Amino acid sequence: MNNITHFEQLINQIAKHDIIKNIKDIYLANSELLDKYNKLEKINEDLVKKNEDLAKELKTCTDDNKNLNKVSYVRSLSTELTSKNKYIAQLEAQLDKLKVKEKIVNESTKDTIVEENKPYVFNIDNYVDIKGYDLLKYKKIYYLINDKNEIFSILDNKPNIIMGSYKDKKIILF
């Protein structure tokens, strides 16, 4: 029996030795896996940090792009405003020219109005016959009529302003 116990002890020692060896193998394997896991954790942390940095950079770029779009829009509005200001300046220059012309016309018409306001009375006795014109009386007013049947008012015994025409034996005054 002694042999059997001894044999059992040997088997137990061998088994313990195998178990310890297996435990050591498992520990070493777990240790390698733990090292790999720790390395993967570090890589993951680095990637998360890089991802956050890239997200911040993307936000900055997006904000810069928005600002550039605003600047571009403002630039186009500025260009349009400059164009409109040039157009306004051109219109103001034209308006100034028209005012000058109107002033000249008003001054010349004032002279004419002053002359027209002077009562001119046509005197048939002072009338001198003008070549190409005949004297015409219509509603107690004397007019001159030419070969083209145009009717003129009389000023200083001369044709002044076209007042109408004579067609089909009808006098048409404007």
Identify whether the C-beta of residue 151 lies closer than 8 Å to the C-beta of residue 166: yes
Give the list of residues 6+ apart from residue 157 with CB closer than 8 angstroms, or none. Answer: 122, 126, 127, 128, 130
Distance from C-alpha of 16 to C-alpha of 20, rounded to nearest angstrom: 6
Task: Indicate whether this model's pTM tops 0.75.
Answer: no
By C-alpha distance, which of 152, 77, 145, 155 is closest to 115?
155
Q: Please, are residues 168 and 140 in contact by the beta-carbon 8 Å criterion?
A: no
State pLDDT tens for residues 80-89: 888 888 888 8
pLDDT digits (tens, 9 = 90+) for 29-38: 777 888 888 8
Q: What is the pLDDT of residues 136-162, one digit of tens each?
A: 787 878 888 888 888 888 877 777 777
